[in-house]
Structure 1
Amino acid sequence: MITNESLTEFKAVFKDIQISDEDDQHPLGNTGRVIVFPKTEQEISAILEYANANKNTVFIMGGGTKRGYGGLLEKADILLSLAQYTGIVEHNPGDMTLTVKAGTSFQEIQTYLAPYKQKVPLDPFIPEHATIGGIVSANDSGPKRIGYGSARDNVIGLRMVYPDGTLIRSGGKVVKNVAGYDMNKLFIGAMGTLGVVSQVTVKLRPIAQYESILFVSFSERSVEEIRAFASKVLDSMMEPISLELLNPSLAGKLTNINQYTMLISFEDVKSSVQYQENVIRSIVPEKTTLRSLSQNEATSFWDDFYHHQPNGLVNIPTTEAVLKIGVVNLEAIKILQEAELTADACHVSIEAHGGLATGICHLTIRGAAEDILSAIQHIRKSAKKNGGYAVVKHLPFSLRKELNVWGEKTAAHFLHEGIKQKIDSNKILNKNRYVGGI
């Protein structure tokens, strides 16, 4: 633990790095006694080496959007902020790869790539604040995962700083990199518990010439009809970039129609998109409403969509939670149906959407604290019953202490513990931030 004396020493050792005191209590926790803002990889390494030698705990923060995601300690000794560690390291337009510093926001990356008509094929929430390091550490993804994949699919190389300050590299800078173990996957999704992501190399793809979204709203809440139509789309030769089902609450908020609404998005050349739109129009069930958006209107809708969830940057009076649920793809329909029943039973509001090709659902729950905890338990039981899992992506610190946000340990948990012990024997880095209190 950093004392007043050791804090003075810390500031003296790193006098060339911006350091500020953090005395305020943040409702989401995951803060630090001091915040340090390194600008180089060498400074990150030196800070971690010092912390490890003195057994000072360290939390990592990029843009702060995931501050409410895991964590059972309210405050570490040091909060390592990557807010000033930003920028493009290397871009190879011909190879369609990009290497970027971990603190760079996702929107900044996409803006840089736009003149080259290229983009990073990921779609995180709050893109103007979500950093590439945070996206990788959480293996974040959005409703376009069916077409884009996740961070695990698109990262081809990483530079990491181990808890003792050692710099390592995994993967490479070319797409066809098949030598040795795929060590990238060890760190992607580890929530920063094994090291600080320093640089990320990702695959790029061309920006699509044309984009559209079709909204199919079901006037009757027939689960069988929704399932049958989704199966028909999935069994066809069409290639939607997303196939997402919105529950009535979220559909009402985003489309002004309070009905189960299927969102089918396409990105390609204009003729291909329009051909696939016409196929959808020919197979939609009766008693449904079909609407479409294209180009700028579609972009505007996605902008609203990626900002509807609460995040670590916004503090509002109401208590909020976000659940991420994974089930077999079409079982997402049952999860959304269960969410409606739970909202009534637990006296909460729930905005939910689920990927009908991926089975990944996100639920935003608002209400009184005890009602939210009850709702989470109800939905978690439903997910387990359907062979899936439910983790809490956003929750105030006071409630995270009362609930296991990651759910039950798996049979492979001892492997996670062994890896953590080998890499971070002093357990200084993002302590208690991951599954099973790792």
Structure 2
Amino acid sequence: MITAELLTELKAIVPVERIKEGEQNHPLGNTSSVNVYPQSEEEIAAVLKYANEKGKSVFVEGNGTKRGYGGLTESADILLSLTNYKGIVEHVVGDMTLTVKAGTTFKELQDYLAKYKQKISLDPFMPESATIGGVIASNESGPKRLGYGSSRDTVIGLRIVYPDGKIIRSGGRVVKNVAGYDMNKLFIGSMGTLGIISEVTLKLRPLPKYESLLLLLFPQGNIEKIRAFSTNLLDSMMEPVTLELLSPTLSEKLTGQSLFTLAIGLQDVETSVGYQENFIKSILPEQVEIKIHDPKETQTFWNQFYSISLNSLEDGSGVSTASLKIGVVNLDVTHLLKEIHLLRESHNLVVEAHGGLGHGLCQVTLMGAKEDIVSAIQHCRETATRLGGYAVVNHLPFALRQNVDVWGEKPSYFFLIEGIKNKVDPNRVLNPKRFIGGI
């Protein structure tokens, strides 16, 4: 509950109508005594400066789509929401760069840029709700990462509010930033533990002239056939933006057929896309069904795909939901998804999974009883480790996060991360215990 003293002190920084009592007992944790909604960078800095001086802890979020990502502290003193801190700062059409406030939703940006036949080359889940700041802070990417790259490839500049209220700038507003260290990479994916991203500058790409989607349905889940076909495609001169393997459960949800399905996304001028479609048909294995979606059907498919919620809450029946991000060598995605699919029977779970055969990143969603979820997470992590990869739990109810190490073992370079945190935020003000090793 918000205290009179805290309310009085915050009212000196932010108007009272933008201060609300925090939500308590949320299943995902990461709540607060009071929520604050700044509308300027100066207000963000002032709130952090106050918290640093008074020894208050601060959680930061956009629209809350990643509330279940990490966090061993159930509640902070202040939740700083960037919901009201949104809008485009600068768009240089000719240079194909965009500077935007961190609380702006991804879909708002893409809708705006479409008028100029441009786009941001990222593809996060729940684009209607996910803010650009949250996407960058969590380094989120989707199946089109094969062609688009990640946030680290797209961001060219950031403005950061440090935990003591100081404002710094990394990178710049032009594509050719070549002087000094690339400080942007320090904050991308740091889960808001080193500073609050207040402003982002991104390089853009043109909207594709034509886009299609090929769905290859493999009978009997012939993993080796999928692997051989993918190797041939990746070794060719073709340039798919997506080469994503869908587990049978997820495929049934999206296509109506419970088979391992390979989704191949193509973007270019229509003649180039047509040429690549014909090449793929020419190397298609026997007994593999192919469905080719035109641009309208392709957009419908991806809209449905990105709306799959990874933030379902516990309900009264005791069913829980967990989401994992697993990274392995790209072609090992086939073996990983095959083994994870078997968790349906061995752990009595609903399992939906997909992974990129070009980049090796997989997303796995588990739904079922709590004890089965915990056991399945351990199994996924052991499988990933055996394949030379890693597994991070990027969504889990707070109660289960007490029993599962969501980040796994500390990496060998952890001392560097810890040293930076100690230097930047010695008072552990910002997003405490939200990142690797409980930082």
The number of residue pairs the alignment matches comes to 436
- 1:361 paired with 2:345, answer no
The match for 1:388 is: 389
Describe the superposition over 1:145-198 as per-residue Cα deviations: whole angstroms up to 9, x where unpaired: 000111011000000000000000000111111010000000000000000000
Q: Distance in 1 between matches of 2:24 and 2:50?
A: 25
- 1:139 paired with 2:136, answer no
The match for 1:10 is: 9
Q: Distance in 1 between matches of 2:7 and 2:122?
A: 42
Describe the superposition over 1:260-309 as per-residue Cα deviations: whole angstroms up to 9, x where unpaired: 00000001111100110010011110011100111111001001100113
* 1:135 alignment partner AA: V
The match for 1:126 is: 126
Maintained 8 Å contact 2:322/2:396: yes
Give the superposition deviation at 1:8: 3.3
Q: Distance in 1 between matches of 2:46 and 2:429?
A: 14
* 1:70 alignment partner AA: G
Alignment map for 1:278-427 (pairs within 5 Å) = 278-311=278-311, 316-317=315-316, 318-427=319-428
Give the superposition deviation at 1:7: 1.5
Alignment map for 1:187-202 (pairs within 5 Å) = 187-202=187-202
Q: Distance in 2 between matches of 1:134 and 1:326?
A: 21
Alignment map for 1:58-207 (pairs within 5 Å) = 58-207=58-207
1:220 is paired with a residue whose SS is helix
Q: Distance in 1 between matches of 2:95 and 2:11?
A: 45
Percent identical among aligned pairs is 56
Give the superposition deviation at 1:224: 1.1
The match for 2:267 is: 267
Describe the superposition over 1:363-403 as per-residue Cα deviations: whole angstroms up to 9, x where unpaired: 01000000011000001000000000000111100001110
Maintained 8 Å contact 2:144/2:241: yes
1:344 is paired with a residue whose SS is helix
The match for 1:222 is: 222
Maintained 8 Å contact 1:309/1:322: no
Maintained 8 Å contact 1:113/1:119: yes
Q: Distance in 1 between matches of 2:410 and 2:104?
A: 33
For structure 2, the residue ranges without an aligned partner over 5 or more in a row are none
Q: Distance in 1 between matches of 2:304 and 2:73?
A: 33
The match for 1:253 is: 253
Describe the superposition over 1:194-219 as per-residue Cα deviations: whole angstroms up to 9, x where unpaired: 00000000000000011100001011
Maintained 8 Å contact 1:146/1:243: yes
* 1:205 alignment partner AA: R
2:221 is paired with a residue whose SS is coil
1:204 is paired with a residue whose SS is strand
1:130 is paired with a residue whose SS is coil
1:284 is paired with a residue whose SS is coil
Maintained 8 Å contact 2:314/2:320: no
Give the superposition deviation at 1:315: 6.3
For structure 1, the residue ranges without an aligned partner over 5 or more in a row are none
Maintained 8 Å contact 2:14/2:43: no
Q: Distance in 2 between matches of 1:197 and 1:337?
A: 38
RMSD of aligned C-alpha atoms?
A: 1.2
TM-score between both structures, scaled by the size of structure 1: 0.98
Q: Distance in 1 between matches of 2:251 and 2:320?
A: 22
Give the superposition deviation at 1:9: 2.8
